Structure 1
Amino acid sequence: MILQETLDIATRGRGTQEISAQIAAIVSRSGIHTGLAHVFICHTSASLLLSENADPDVRRDLERFLQRIAPDGAPWYAHDAEGPDDMAAHIRSVLTASELTLPVRAGRLALGTWQGVYLWEHRHAAHRRRVIVTVHGEAA
Structure 2
Amino acid sequence: MPGRGTRDITADIAAVVSDSGVGTGLCHVFCRHTSASLVICENADPEVRDDMERFLSRLVPDGDPMFRHDAEGPDDMPAHVRSMLTQSGLSLPVTGGRLLTGTWQGVFLYEHRSGSHDRRVVVTVMGEAGGA
Q: Which residue of the other structure, out of 45, 48, 61, is the alignment partner of 2:38?
A: 48
Q: Which residue of the other structure, out of 64, 81, 87, is the alignment partner of 1:97?
A: 87
* Structure 1 residue runs of 4 or more that deviate by more than 4 Å after TM superposition: none
2:76 aligned partner: 86
1:17 aligned partner: 7
Structure 2 spans left out of the alignment, 5+ residues:
none
2:27 aligned partner: 37
What CA distance in whole angstroms lies between the structure 2 residues aligned with 1:113 and 1:96?
A: 22
Aligned: 1:134 with 2:124: yes
What CA distance in whole angstroms lies between the structure 1 residues aligned with 2:72 and 2:10?
A: 30
Letter in 2 for 1:109: L
2:59 aligned partner: 69
**Displacement after TM superposition at 1:133 (Å):** 0.4
**Displacement after TM superposition at 1:12 (Å):** 1.2
Letter in 2 for 1:40: F
**Displacement after TM superposition at 1:96 (Å):** 0.3
**Larger fraction in strand:** 1
Q: Report the RMSD for the aligned CA atoms in angstroms.
A: 0.4
**Displacement after TM superposition at 1:67 (Å):** 0.4
Q: Which residue of the other structure, out of 96, 100, 108, is the alignment partner of 1:118?
A: 108
What CA distance in whole angstroms lies between the structure 2 residues aligned with 1:76 and 1:131?
A: 31
Structure 1 spans left out of the alignment, 5+ residues:
1-10
What CA distance in whole angstroms lies between the structure 2 residues aligned with 1:115 and 1:108?
A: 14
